[in-house]
């Protein structure tokens, strides 16, 4: 190497070292030490719904060398499950992991980004959120409640629930006392169902005592944990009110806005990871759980076609009624509905035909 080349190399190395010296303090200043609290709407026993919050918090801590620590609390430890959004709004805690449809009492629009009757499935929801402006659209609404929201998990299509008696016709819904959360209860009310929103831990005794006739929760893995098959044997599908239930990370908007850009990026990345983790876990654990439930006496049923059609008709009526008086609801629902319809035009071409073939024949190979 010539003297000129060596001098050039040393000069370049010196510039790099100087840049490192200058950059390091700047990075350090942008990563302050923070300790936040996060409550979930779920008990620790539901290790996928609650577990997504743990996955998220761990990822944030690891990415920041523990400078940004988020302590996770289960439902009831800081706030009741249906108050999670309230304690984030008023800054009692900085964050929560919850199902936004729990808070439709504030505004029916809270239901839409979570799950809506006959809405998009899980992959369609992700597509809507990440590539059709869904995240921005929902946060335009949530900011009215001092909340910033990000996807943090999706259950996939849920089951239709546990029934003490069979549902053979639309008339069998009349007078049925059904534990059902969110939007679905309002739709079923048009068909005579008495909808009740009950926390996870209270579902089993309510079914056992006959206080309710039926209950839906999530799917085989979580339902087995709650022991619902021991007190109601008819297990129905699908949960048309939750074709893909999106769980959200709510952050107090003022706290979110005050975060350094690097922390916002880390929170988004960790939330995305938890979003994928939850769906993947449910897809892995639901099949063996369903086999076990059936082996222990659960009787699988599919809602009859006339029941499904009556529910769809009722859902469309409710959408029309709410849209007539709620501009936010109408704006977001019309956006979701148009995207869902376009997606299903594509879905029926490849995805549906492939899955249908594999279900009928491929699994025999």
Tell me the per-residue pLDDT of 17-66, one tens digit each, with 9 for 90 and over: 444 444 555 565 678 999 999 999 999 999 999 999 999 999 999 999 99
The set of residues, in sequence order, having a beta carbon less than 8 Å from that of 61 and lying 6+ positions away, is 68, 69, 70
Sheet holding 194-196, edge to edge: 194-196, 177-179, 214-215, 161-163, 234-237, 299-302
Task: Write out pLDDT tens, residues 193-233.
Answer: 999 988 778 899 999 999 999 999 999 999 998 899 999 99
Among 72, 49, 99, 56, smallest CA distance to 278 is for: 49
Mean pLDDT in residue range 228-253: 97
Tens-digit pLDDT profile for residues 140-185:
999 999 999 999 999 999 999 999 999 999 999 999 999 997 799 9
Residue 6: pLDDT over 70: no
State the angle between helix axes of 261-295 and 49-63 in degrees (0 to 180), rounded to the nearest 10: 150
CATH of domain 161-242+299-340: 3.40.190.10
Whether the per-residue pLDDT at 15 is higher than 70: the answer is no
> Are 33-157+244-284 and 161-242+299-340 the same fold in CATH?
yes
d(CA 241, CA 159): 10
Phi, psi at residue 232, to the nearest 5°?
Answer: -155, 120
- Contact (CB, 8 A) for 114 and 235: no
Average pLDDT on 113-129 reads 96
Specify the 3-state DSSP secondary structure of 348.
coil
| Backbone phi and psi for residue 196, each to the nearest 5 degrees, phi listed first | -135, 135
- Nearest Cα to Cα of residue 162 among 183, 179, 144, 138: 179
Query: Topology of 33-157+244-284 in CATH?
Result: D-Maltodextrin-Binding Protein; domain 2 (3.40.190)
- Rounded to an integer, the average pLDDT of 351-363 is 90
The Cα 27–Cα 217 span in angstroms is 45
The structural domains of the chain, with segments of one domain joined by +, span 33-157+244-284, 161-242+299-340
Q: Tokens 């009741």 belong to which residue? A: 80
The 3-state DSSP class for residue 147 equals strand
CA atoms within 13 A on the CB side of 29: 5
Residue 199's pLDDT is what?
79
């Amino acid at each position: 190497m010539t003297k000129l080349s060596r001098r050039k190399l040393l000069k370049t190395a010196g510039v790099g070292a100087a840049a490192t010296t200058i950059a390091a303090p700047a990075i350090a200043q942008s990563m302050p030490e923070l300790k936040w609290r996060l409550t979930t709407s779920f008990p620790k026993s539901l290790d996928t719904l609650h577990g997504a919050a743990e996955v998220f918090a761990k990822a944030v801590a690891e990415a920041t060398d523990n400078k940004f620590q988020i302590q996770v609390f289960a439902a009831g430890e800081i706030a009741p499950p249906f108050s999670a959004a309230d304690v984030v709004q008023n800054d009692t805690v900085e964050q929560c992991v919850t199902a936004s449809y729990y808070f439709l009492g504030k505004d029916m629009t809270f239901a839409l980004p979570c799950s809506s009757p006959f809405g998009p499935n899980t992959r369609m929801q992700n597509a809507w959120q990440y590539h059709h402006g869904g995240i921005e659209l929902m946060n335009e609404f949530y900011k009215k409640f001092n909340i910033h929201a990000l996807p943090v998990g999706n259950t996939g299509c849920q089951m239709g629930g546990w029934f003490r008696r069979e549902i053979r016709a639309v008339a069998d819904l009349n007078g049925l006392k059904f534990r059902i959360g969110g939007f679905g209860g309002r739709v079923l009310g048009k068909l005579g169902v008495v909808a009740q929103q009950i926390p996870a831990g209270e579902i089993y005794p309510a079914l056992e005592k006959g206080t309710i006739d039926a209950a839906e929760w999530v799917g085989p893995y979580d339902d087995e944990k709650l022991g619902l098959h021991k007190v109601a044997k008819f297990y129905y599908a699908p949960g048309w009110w939750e074709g893909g239930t999106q769980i959200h990370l709510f952050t107090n908007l003022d706290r979110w806005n005050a975060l350094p850009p690097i922390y916002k990026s880390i929170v988004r990345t960790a939330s995305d990871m938890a979003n994928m983790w939850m769906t993947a876990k449910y897809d892995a654990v639901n099949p063996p759980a369903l086999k076990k439930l059936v082996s222990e006496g659960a009787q699988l049923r599919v809602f009859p076609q006339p029941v499904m059609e009556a529910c769809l008709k009722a859902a469309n009526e409710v959408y029309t009624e709410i849209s007539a008086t709620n501009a936010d609801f109408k704006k977001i629902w019309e956006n979701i509905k148009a995207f869902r319809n376009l997606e299903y035009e594509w879905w029926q071409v490849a995805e549906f035909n492939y899955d249908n073939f594999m279900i009928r024949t491929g699994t025999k190979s």
